[in-house]
Amino acid sequence: MIKIKDYVRVGSLEEAYELNQKRSACILGGMLWTKMGQRQVQTAIDLSGLGLDQIEESEEEFSIGCMVTLRQMEEHEGLNAYTDGAARESVRSIVGVQFRNLATVGGSIFGRFGFSDVLTLFLALDTEVELVHAGRMPLAEFACSKRDRDVLVRLIVKKHEGVTVYQSHRNSRTDFPVLTCAVRVEDGKGCAVLGARPAKAARVELPAELAEKLAAGKASAEELKAAASEISDQFTYGSNMRGSAEYRHHLGRVLLRRCMEEIQKKEEQ
Amino acid sequence: MKISMILNGKKTEAEIDADMLLIDFVRSQGCYSVKRGCETSNCGLCTVFLEGKPVLSCSVLAARANGCKVDTLEGLQEEAEEFGSFIAGQGAEQCGFCNPGMIMNAIALFRENPDPSEEEIKEYLAGNLCRCSGYEGQLRGILNFLAWKKQQGGAS
Amino acid sequence: MSRENHIYEPDWSGRTDQLCSVNKPVIKKDALALVTGKPVYVDDLAPKDCLIVKVLRSPHANAIVKSVKKTAAERVPGIEAIYTWEDVPKQRFTMAGQTYPEPSPYDRLILDQHVRYVGDPVAIIAGKDEKCVDRARKLLKVEYEVLPAILDFHQSKDNELLVHPEESWKSLCPVGADNQRNLCASAEDHNGDVEAVLAECDEVVEHTYHVRAAQQAMMETFRTYCFMDTYGRLNVLSSTQIVYHARRILSNALGIPKSKIRVSKPRIGGGFGAKQTVVAEIFPAFVTWKTGKPSKMIFTREESQTASTPRHEMEVTIRLGAMKDGRIRAIDLYTLSNTGAYGEHGPTTVGLSGHKSIPMYGSLEAYRFAYDVVYSNVMSAGAYRGYGATQGIFAVESAVSEMAARLGIDPIRIREQNMVREGQFMPAYYGETANSCALDQCVERAKEMIGWDEKYPCRDMGNGKVRSVGIAMAMQGSCISNLDVGSATIKVNDDGGYTMLIAAADMGTGCDTILSQMAAECLECDVDDITVVGADTDTSPYDSGSYASSTTYITGKAVEKACMTLRKRICALAAERMNVPEDETEFTGTGVVHEKSGSSMTMEEIATAAMCNNGIALEATESNCSPVSPPPYMAGAVEIELDKETGEVRILDYAAVVDCGTVINPNLARVQVEGGLVQGIGMTLFENIQYTDKGQMINNSFMQYKVPTRLDMGKLRVEFRSSYEPTGPFGAKSIGEIVINTPAPALAHAIYNATGLWFRELPITSEQIAMGIAEKECE
pLDDT value at position C1?
37
Checking if the pLDDT of C199 tops 60, the result is yes
For C271-298, give one letter per residue: b (16+ CB within 10 A) or e: bbbbbbbbbbbbbbbbbbbbeebbbbbb
Q: Is B127 close to A95, i.e. CB distance below 8 A?
A: yes
For A165-217, what is each residue's pLDDT tens digit? 999 999 999 999 999 999 999 988 999 999 999 999 999 999 999 999 999 99
Q: Is A174 close to C645, i.e. CB distance below 8 A?
A: no
pLDDT value at position C8?
63
Q: Is B40 close to C676, i.e. CB distance below 8 A?
A: no
Which residue in B34, A242, B131 sits closest to C216, CA to CA? B131
Nearest to B55 among A5, A44, A101 (CB): A101
For B121-133, what is each residue's pLDDT tens digit? 999 999 999 999 9
Best B39, B40, B59, B107 member to test A by mutation, with max A CBs in 10 Å, is B59
Q: Is B108 close to A97, i.e. CB distance below 8 A?
A: yes
Nearest CA in chain A to C697: A241
Neighbours of C113 (CB within 10 A): 16
Give me the percent of chain C exceeding a pLDDT of 70.
99
pLDDT value at position A86?
98
Q: Please give the CATH number for the structural domain made up of C16-38+481-624.
A: 3.30.365.10
pLDDT value at position B154?
66
Best A75, A98, A99 member to test B by mutation, with max B CBs in 10 Å, is A98
A49 in B contact zone (CB under 8 Å): no
Q: What is the CA radius of gyration of chain C?
A: 27
**Cβ-based neighbours of C280, under 8 Å, separated by 6 or more:** C222, C223, C224, C238, C239, C297, C298, C299
In A, which residues are within 8 Å of C686 by CB distance?
171-172, 175
CATH topology of domain C150-214+310-429: Aldehyde Oxidoreductase; domain 4 (3.30.365)
In A, which residues are within 8 Å of B125 by CB distance?
96-97
Which chains are within 8 Å of C by 3+ CB pairs? A, B
Residue C164 binned pLDDT confidence (cut-offs 50, 70, 90): very high
Residues C172-176 have a mean pLDDT of 97
Q: Is C706 close to A171, i.e. CB distance below 8 A?
A: yes
Residues B85-90 have a mean pLDDT of 98
**Cβ-based neighbours of A178, under 8 Å, separated by 6 or more:** A168, A169, A170, A171, A196, A242, A243, A247, A248, A251, C766, C767
Which chains are within 8 Å of A by 3+ CB pairs? B, C
User: How many residues in chain B?
Assistant: 156
Q: Is C770 close to A250, i.e. CB distance below 8 A?
A: yes
**Residue range(s) of every CATH 3.30.390.50 domain in chain A:** 162-268
* Burial class of residue C160 in the structure, from the number of CB atoms within 10 Å of its CB (0-12 exposed, 13-18 middle, 19+ buried): exposed
Quote the CA–CA distance of C130 and C138 in Å, as a whole number.
12
C591-594 β-sheet, strand order: C586-587, C591-594, C599-602
Considering only residues C592 and B153, tell me which one the structure prediction assigns the higher pLDDT: C592
Q: Is A95 close to B66, i.e. CB distance below 8 A?
A: no
Size of interface B-C (CB pairs under 8 A): 181
In B, which residues are within 8 Å of A40 by CB distance?
none
pLDDT value at position B155?
55
Neighbours of C181 (CB within 10 A): 17
pLDDT value at position C5?
41
State the smallest CA–CA distance between residue A75 and chain B in angstroms.
Answer: 12
**Residue range(s) of every CATH 3.30.465.10 domain in chain A:** 50-158
Quote the CA–CA distance of C532 and C642 in Å, as a whole number.
48
Checking if the pLDDT of C7 tops 60, the result is no
Q: Is B44 close to A96, i.e. CB distance below 8 A?
A: yes
Q: Is B73 close to C37, i.e. CB distance below 8 A?
A: yes
Nearest to C709 among A174, A176, A251 (CB): A174
Torsion of CA C696, C697, C700, C703, to 10 degrees: 110
Q: Write the ipTM.
A: 0.98
Nearest to C301 among B37, B97, B128 (CB): B37
Residues C334-338 have a mean pLDDT of 98
In B, which residues are within 8 Å of C711 by CB distance?
122-123, 126
State the smallest CA–CA distance between residue B31 and chain C in angstroms.
Answer: 8
Domains of chain B: 2-74 (3.10.20.30), 76-155 (1.10.150.120)
* Burial class of residue A81 in the structure, from the number of CB atoms within 10 Å of its CB (0-12 exposed, 13-18 middle, 19+ buried): exposed
Residue spans of the domains in chain C: they are: 16-38+481-624, 150-214+310-429, 217-306
pLDDT value at position A148?
94
Nearest CA in chain B to C739: B134
State the smallest CA–CA distance between residue C403 and chain A in angstroms.
Answer: 30
Give me the percent of chain C exceeding a pLDDT of 90.
97
For C548-582, what is each residue's pLDDT tens digit? 999 999 999 999 999 999 999 999 999 999 999 99
Q: Is A3 close to B19, i.e. CB distance below 8 A?
A: yes
Nearest to A172 among C646, C708, C767 (CB): C708
Quote the CA–CA distance of C444 and C447 in Å, as a whole number.
5
pLDDT value at position C300?
98
For C600-651, what is each residue's pLDDT tens digit? 999 999 999 999 999 999 999 999 999 999 999 999 999 999 999 999 999 9
DSSP class of residue C690 equals -
Q: What is the mean pLDDT of chain C?
A: 97
Q: Residue type for C680, please? A: G
Nearest CA in chain B to C510: B94
**Cβ-based neighbours of C116, under 8 Å, separated by 6 or more:** C61, C62, C163, C164, C341, C342, C377
CATH topology of domain A162-268: Enolase-like; domain 1 (3.30.390)
Quote the CA–CA distance of C764 and C748 in Å, as a whole number.
8
pLDDT value at position C2?
39
A251 in C contact zone (CB under 8 Å): yes
Neighbours of B30 (CB within 10 A): 13
Those residues of chain B whose CB sits closer than 8 Å to some CB in chain A are 1, 17-19, 21, 39-42, 44, 47, 50, 53-56, 58-61, 63-64, 66, 105, 108-109, 123-128
Checking if the pLDDT of C9 tops 70, the result is no
In A, which residues are within 8 Å of B39 by CB distance?
1, 36
Q: Is A171 close to C711, i.e. CB distance below 8 A?
A: no
CA-based diameter of chain C, in Å? 92
In B, which residues are within 8 Å of C219 by CB distance?
35, 37, 43, 45, 95, 97-98, 129-132
* CA neighbours closer than 13 Å in the CB half-sphere of residue A34: 27
Q: Is A250 close to C771, i.e. CB distance below 8 A?
A: yes
Quote the CA–CA distance of C545 and C461 in Å, as a whole number.
50
Best C34, C215, C308 member to test B by mutation, with max B CBs in 10 Å, is C34
Nearest CA in chain A to C130: A1
Q: Is A241 close to C698, i.e. CB distance below 8 A?
A: yes
Those residues of chain C whose CB sits closer than 8 Å to some CB in chain A are 645-646, 648, 685-686, 688, 690, 698-699, 703-704, 706, 708-709, 711-712, 765-767, 770-771, 774
CATH 3.30.365.10 for domain C217-306: yes
Q: Are C570 and C618 in contact (CB under 8 A)?
A: yes
Strands A40-46 and A3-9: parallel
Predicted model pTM: 0.97
Q: Is B21 close to A35, i.e. CB distance below 8 A?
A: yes
Q: Is A30 close to B124, i.e. CB distance below 8 A?
A: no
**Cβ-based neighbours of C140, under 8 Å, separated by 6 or more:** C56, C68, C69, C70, C73, C82, C122, C123, C125
State the smallest CA–CA distance between residue A50 and chain B in angstroms.
Answer: 13
State the smallest CA–CA distance between residue A7 and chain B in angstroms.
Answer: 6
The top-level CATH class assigned to A50-158 is alpha beta
- Regions of chain A with pLDDT less than 70: none
Nearest CA in chain A to B39: A36
C150-214+310-429 shares the fold of C16-38+481-624:
yes
Nearest CA in chain B to A101: B55
- Terminal C-alpha separation, chain C: 67
